[in-house]
Structure 1
Amino acid sequence: MKSLVLVNNKGGVGKTTLTLHIAHMMARMGRRVVALDCDPQCNLSTILLGEDELFDIWEQEAQDRTVSDCVELVRRGEGKVREPLLTRVDTNLWLLPGKLELSGFEQTLAEEWARKAEKNNEHALDVTTSLDVLSNLAAQAVNADVVLFDIGPNLGALTRATLLACDAVIVPVAPDLFSLQGLRNIGPALRAWREEWHLVRERHMEARPRADHPPHEFRPIGYIVQQHLARAHRPVSGYATWAAAIPAVFHQEVLQDEAEIPASVDSDPFCLASMRHFSSLVPLAQQARKPLFDLKKADGVGGGQVQAVALARKQFEKLTVDVLSRLDALSP
C-alpha cells in the first residue's frame, strides 16, 4: 500500500478537487483506493457523499464512521485508534469522512509533538502516529492499494501528522504570488519535520510498539499547475510571469536542487500536469456528486461543455497514470 497527500498552505489551488478526481480515476484503473478526509471543513466528504448522507453519519452513535471518531480515544489518552467502518462511494473507492470535531485534535497533536522526545513519551507517540495507524487499518479493511488524504490549506499540527502517514506529496499550485510563497513555506517545513521525526525514530522509539512501523518519507513527487481563469482585469502576461517562476522555486525550495533548473513548467519533469480551469463544470459536478469526466447532458452539460468533459477525462487519465507510476517507483 502507498499513501499520498496533496499539500499547499495556500487555499484555492484545487487541492480537494484534484484529490477527488485522482481517487476516482485510480479506482477506474483498477486500484483499490481509500480516501481519508482529514480536513475539519469536510469538503471532500460533502462532495462525495452529499450533505444529507454526511449528516446521517455524524448523527449515528457509531464511533468508527469518521476520522475524528476513530482517533478520539487516543486524543483523550483512553485507548487505541478504532478500526474504521468505511463508506463505499464507488467501485474500488471508499471514504472515511471528516467531521468538524477533528479541529479539536489539532491542539492535542501540537502539545504531544513537543513531548515526543521525553522519557515517558508513550502518549505522545500514540497521538503523533494515530493517523498513520488509522490509514493502515483503513487500507487493511478493504485491501487497498492506495490511501489518499485530504487536508486543509495550512502547515499546522494536523497537516504534519498526516504527512507522517504518507509516502508521497504532490503540491498543487496556481500561477500567482501566493502559490509561490506557499512553495517557499512547504519546502522548509517538509525537511524540518522529516529530520525531526528521523531523530525521534532513532533515539526515542527503542522498545516502543511503533518502532516496527514502516517509516513514511513524504517525498515530493511533483506539482500540478492549475491554469489561470482569464479575467478582464488580470492580463495573461501576469500569469505567465508567475508560471515561469514555478520550476525554480519548486526545485530550490522543495527539492533543494539547484543543479539544473528547468526553463518552464512544460520542460520540468516534476510538473505532473498543467490542468485547465474547468470553472463552468465544477458546480454541475458538485450538484451531481460525480467527477467532471462523468458529467452528461442529463447533468446540465451543453454546448462547448461536452468537449470540456472529454478534455477533463483525458487530462485526469494522463495525470493519474503518471502519479501511479511515481508511487509505484517509491521504495517500499
Structure 2
Amino acid sequence: MKRLARALSRPSAQRGPKSLVLFNNKGGVGKTTLTFNLAHMFARLGRRVALLDFDPQCNLSALALPDHSLEAIWDDAKPGRTVASCVEKVRIGKGELAEPAGCELADDLYLLPGDLRLSRFESRLARDWPQIMAEDNELALHAVTAFDRLAVSFANQVGAELLLFDVGPSLGALNRAVLLASDAIVVPLAPDLFSLRGLQNVGEVLHEWREEWDTARVKNLQSAARRREPPPLLPQRWMQPLGYVVQQHLTIADEPVRAYQRWLKQIPASFAEDVLQRSAPASSSVQDDPHCLGFLRHFASLVPLAQAAHKPLFELAHADGVVGSQYQTVARATKAFEQLAEAILVKLDALGVVTAKE
C-alpha cells in the first residue's frame, strides 16, 4: 500500500507544486479531519506532501502532533517554526518571510504547524486588500501574497509536489489570502441545510475574490509596462473548484436516512449553480453527479482513537485501541480514503493541462 498506484501518483507534466484547500463556510463538517487523512493518503499513494495549517485555531496541528511537541514548537523563539512566525515580519511591514522549518509527520509528508498568533495577520490583510489596486502598493501586495510565497518556499524546502492547506470556516481576509494561493478547492459537505447555505456563500466569494485579484494583476502588470519596469511577480492560481465530498451521514442498509434525502437531492444543483455558476445538471442524484468526489461514512467509533494516537483512521491498530468490528471499519476507511484521494488527484493533475483540441 505504501507505494500503491505509482502511475497515478507521478503525472507526466506539472508547473511546480499544485495547491489544494478543503473549504466550506459551514463549520463542523469534518474538514480538518478530512484534510489530515487525505494528506496521509496522498503520501501513501506516492505524492510528497507539504501540509500547512492556516487556521489560527490550530485544529490540524493538534490532530497531527501531541501536546508536548506542539508546546515545544510554540515556545521555540526561532522564527520559522510556525506559519505565524514565518509571516511575522511581513505582518508588521518590516521584512520578508522567515524560512519555514516544518516537521516530518510520515514518509513524504511534512507539516508547517499553525499558531493562534496568526489571527493577528487578519487585520493587516483586510487593510491591505483595497490597496492592491493603488499605484504605490508594493507593501500591500507583499502582504496579500505572503501565503503563496510561504507555501512555495516550504514545498521547495521539502521537495513536495503537492501543497495542502487547512483553514477555518470564515470568509475573512485570512482565508481570502489562503485561497488566492490555492490552485484547487474541494468542498466538504454534510447533507443538511447549513452545508447547502455554505455552498451559496462559497460560490459568491470565490467568484468575487477571483475577479478582484485578476483585475488587480492586470492593472499592476499594465502599470509596470507603462513605467517600463519589470513586471511584478504575482501568483496566478486557478482557485478551481474540483468538486465536493459528502460525509458524516448516518446510514441504514447502506442508504442515507430519509431525513437527509431532501438535502442530498439539492446538492448537485446547488454546487453547479452556486459554485460553478453553471446550469443545474439534468440528474438530481448525488451518486451520478460528476462533481461528487465521494461519500464518507460516519467513522465515529474510530475518530477518538485517531485523535489520541495522532494517526489517520486507516493506520489505527490494536495498540491504538482497535478491537472487534472496528477492524472492519478501519478497512472501510482505508478503501474510502484511497478512492477519494485518487479521484481528487485525477482532477488535480488535469488542471492546466492543454489538450490537442484546445
> Same fold judged by TM-score > 0.5?
yes
User: Does residue 177 in structure 1 map to residue 177 in structure 2?
Assistant: no
Cα distance in 1, alignment partners of residues 130 and 282 from structure 2: 37
Shift of 1:212: 3.2
Q: How does 1:1-332 map to 2 (within 5 A)?
A: 1-205=17-221, 206-207=223-224, 211-229=232-250, 236-258=257-279, 260-331=281-352
Cα distance in 2, alignment partners of residues 195 and 262 from structure 1: 30
Equivalent pair of 1:68/1:102 in contact (CA under 8 Å): yes
Equivalent pair of 1:16/1:43 in contact (CA under 8 Å): yes
**C-alpha deviations, 1:162-213, integer Å up to 9, x for none?**
0010100000000000000000110010000000000000002444877334
Equivalent pair of 2:145/2:235 in contact (CA under 8 Å): no
Percent identity of equivalent pairs: 53
Shift of 1:302: 1.3
Cα distance in 1, alignment partners of residues 251 and 121 from structure 2: 39
**C-alpha deviations, 1:217-243, integer Å up to 9, x for none?**
210000000142479xxx922211111
Cα distance in 1, alignment partners of residues 295 and 43 from structure 2: 22
Equivalent pair of 1:67/1:98 in contact (CA under 8 Å): yes
SS in 1 for 2:131: coil
Cα distance in 1, alignment partners of residues 46 and 77 from structure 2: 34
Equivalent pair of 1:86/1:96 in contact (CA under 8 Å): yes
Equivalent pair of 1:24/1:291 in contact (CA under 8 Å): yes
Shift of 1:261: 4.0
User: 1:300/1:251 Cα in 2 relative to 1: closer, same or farther (>3 Å)?
Assistant: same
One-letter identity of the residue aligned with 1:33: V
Q: Paired residue for 2:14?
A: none
Shift of 1:264: 1.1
Unaligned runs of 5+ in 1: none
Shift of 1:157: 0.7
Shift of 1:80: 0.9
Count of aligned residue pairs for this structure pair: 329
SS in 2 for 1:275: strand
One-letter identity of the residue aligned with 2:205: A
One-letter identity of the residue aligned with 1:159: N
Equivalent pair of 1:251/1:261 in contact (CA under 8 Å): no
Cα distance in 1, alignment partners of residues 325 and 47 from structure 2: 32
Cα distance in 2, alignment partners of residues 250 and 316 from structure 1: 22
Cα distance in 2, alignment partners of residues 261 and 43 from structure 1: 39
**C-alpha deviations, 1:279-313, integer Å up to 9, x for none?**
11000001011110011122111122111100000
Equivalent pair of 2:250/2:257 in contact (CA under 8 Å): no
User: What's the C-alpha RMSD, in Å, of the aligned pairs?
Assistant: 1.6
Shift of 1:262: 3.0
> Bigger shift: 203-212 or 15-24?
203-212
SS in 1 for 2:165: strand
Shift of 1:260: 2.7
Shift of 1:153: 1.0
User: 1:164/1:210 Cα in 2 relative to 1: closer, same or farther (>3 Å)?
Assistant: farther
Cα distance in 2, alignment partners of residues 214 and 262 from structure 1: 37
Equivalent pair of 1:33/1:145 in contact (CA under 8 Å): yes
Shift of 1:259: 5.4
Shift of 1:9: 1.0
**C-alpha deviations, 1:7-54, integer Å up to 9, x for none?**
011111010011001100111111110000000010110111111101
Cα distance in 1, alignment partners of residues 312 and 193 from structure 2: 29
Equivalent pair of 2:21/2:182 in contact (CA under 8 Å): yes
User: 1:90/1:209 Cα in 2 relative to 1: closer, same or farther (>3 Å)?
Assistant: farther
Equivalent pair of 1:27/1:93 in contact (CA under 8 Å): yes
Cα distance in 1, alignment partners of residues 128 and 289 from structure 2: 39
One-letter identity of the residue aligned with 2:159: N
Cα distance in 1, alignment partners of residues 188 and 26 from structure 2: 9
One-letter identity of the residue aligned with 2:78: A
